[in-house]
Amino acid sequence: MSEKRTEISSVGEFGLIDRIHAHFPITNANTQKGIGDDAAILRGGDESILVSTDMLLEGVHFDLSYMPLQHLGYKAVAVNVSDIAAMNARPEQIVISLAISNRFSVEAVDALYEGIRAACTNYNIDLVGGDTSASVSGLVISITAIGRAAKEKIATRGGAKANDIICVTGDLGAAYMGLQVLEREKQVFLTNPEMQPDLERYEYLVGRQLKPEARMDIIHELADKNCMPTSMIDISDGLASELLHLSKNSGLGVKIFEEKIPIDNLTYETAIEFKLDPLTCAFNGGEDYELLFTISPADFEKLKNHPDIHFIGHMHDNANQNVMISKQQTVVPISAQGWNHFKGERIE
């Protein structure tokens, strides 16, 4: 009799992570937190050390037909810095593993590292090592980011309390719409190579996709205002998915309001142009790398006038009730759709 075979797509990315996590209990006294957050937390003297890894694969996470190598290098660093930011910590070092095929020249690698160097300069971090390998086809970049924070300043996904206010930075859905624009222009070019890409009026959206920024500015401002988030996560897989992570890890429910969700006018207009629901793009698009966090109601006064922090709802005691109140006052259950890595498709 053959052994049972379970397709990875049937459990999904997070189900697979939970399955792995269940078989690897923490045994080292210096490991404060392992799998299950934006970064692992290790004891490191007076401060804790944060460690996070992200991998980008050609054909899965990026398309070099429209992603310049300099932008790719910058983005690869930024998305890892974002994970450290999501722990309310400061990044200090990165190590890079690179698998590259022989279709890339030395000059191409130089261009990639030019973007990496620009990100290191911007975020004040050091490249301290890594590994290189040949690839049968395509490009793979894996970056590990190392950060540091005082133990009492670290924000995890599981620290929220009932009635804490849910906050989000920036605006949502722009990166996803930038991807739609790039994919459309790619198809136009493949059909007619004489056609020039029409990107000028979509510059903001395309920039959010090709060169996102980790919101370290917000981390520094929270520290300046002496405002400690009770929980935090970065928005890489879409607002809905990240809200459910905060709910699951905090053992609480979330209640948000549609009218409070920040969507840029260009994102909204472009979604309508593509016959997409702007709210769905904000909820499930992903790759915005904004910060989603909760604060105590007592800290609201410190942030209420911040131009780039939006208060979209609150946490409550019923962990089984994660809802959005629509503009029509309808109660809508929150469900995560977003990107399924193991099916290679976005679920709508």
Give the pLDDT of residue 21.
66
Domain limit, last residue, from 105, 126, 153: 153
Confidence at 45, pLDDT banded by 50, 70, 90: confident
Residues 286, 185: one domain? yes
pLDDT of residue 28: 75
Tell which phi-psi region holds residue 289, choosing left (phi > 0), alpha (psi between -120 and 50) or beta: left
Beta bridge partners of 144: 53, 95
Task: Give a yes or no: residue 160 inside a domain.
Answer: no
d(CA 253, CA 317): 6
Task: Tell me the three state secondary structure of residue 130.
Answer: strand
Residues in contact with 198: Cβ distance below 8 Å, sequence separation at least 6, in sequence order:
185, 188
| Final residue before a domain boundary, out of 103, 131, 153 | 153
Q: What is the mean pLDDT of residues 8-21?
A: 68
What is the spatial distance between Cα 309 and Cα 226, in angstroms, rounded to a whole number?
Answer: 15
Question: Where residue 14 falls among pLDDT bands split at 50, 70, 90?
Answer: low
| 107-125 mean pLDDT | 98
Helices (H), 124-173: none
Residue 159 lies in a domain: no
pLDDT band for position 348 (cuts 50, 70, 90) = very low
Cα 249 to Cα 167: distance, rounded to the nearest angstrom: 17
| pLDDT of res. 13 | 63
- Asked if residue 95 has pLDDT above 90, the reply is yes
- CATH classification of the domain holding 50: 3.30.1330.10
Average pLDDT of the chain to the nearest whole number: 91
Above 90 in pLDDT, residue 340? no
Task: Tell me the mean pLDDT in the region 12-33.
Answer: 71
The verdict on 183 and 72 lying in the same domain is no
Buried residues in 57-78 as b, exposed as e (16+ CB within 10 A) = ebeebbeeebbebbbbbbbbbb
- The pLDDT tens digits of the residues spanning 71-82 come to 999 999 999 999
Please tell me the predicted confidence (pLDDT) of residue 92: 98
pLDDT of residue 11 exceeding 70, the answer is no
DSSP reduced 3-state for 165: strand
What is the tens place of the pLDDT at every residue in 284-323? Answer: 999 999 999 999 999 999 999 999 999 999 999 999 999 9
Same domain, yes or no, for 144 and 60?
yes
Q: Which two tokens stand for residue 338?
A: 């977003």
The distance between the two most distant Cα atoms of the chain, rounded to a whole number of Å, is: 66
Q: Are residues 140 and 244 in the same domain?
A: no
Q: What is the extent of the structural domain holding 17?
A: 8-153
CATH number, residue 317: 3.90.650.10
Tokens representing 44 are 């490191």
Considering the domain architecture, whether residues 138 and 169 belong to the same structural domain is answered as: no
Tell me, what's the pLDDT at 2? 54
Q: Look-up: residue for tokens 């930024």?
A: 78
Q: Residue 114 carries which side chain, given as an amino acid letter?
A: E
Q: Is residue 80 domain-resident?
A: yes
What percent of the chain clears pLDDT 70, i.e. is strictly above it? Answer: 93
Residue at 3 is within a domain: no
24, 109: one domain: yes
Q: Which one, of 251, 235, 252, lies nearest residue 310 by Cα?
A: 235
Q: Could you count the other beta carbons within 10 Å of the beta carbon of residue 37?
A: 22
Place of tokens 């937390």: 41
Helices (H) and strands (E) in the chain, counts: 10, 15
- What integer pLDDT is reported at residue 317 of this predicted model? 96
Q: Which of 153, 188, 211 is the last residue in one of the domains? A: 153
pLDDT of residue 344: 46
- Spatial contact of 169 and 74, defined as CB atoms under 8 Å apart: no
Q: 331: helix, coil or strand?
A: strand
Same domain, yes or no, for 199 and 108?
A: no
pLDDT band at 12 (very low <50, low <70, confident <90, very high): low
Q: Tell me the backbone φ, ψ of residue 31, rounded to 5 degrees.
A: -95, 110
1, part of any domain: no
Same domain, 225 and 306: yes
Could you give the 3-state DSSP secondary structure of residue 98? strand
pLDDT at 192: 81
Residue 80 or 9, more confident = 80
Please tell me which residue, 27 or 45, carries the higher pLDDT value: 45
Is 129 in the same domain as 199? no
First to last CA, the chain: 38
Alpha carbon distances (Å) from 335 to 97, 188, 242, 283? 35, 34, 10, 9
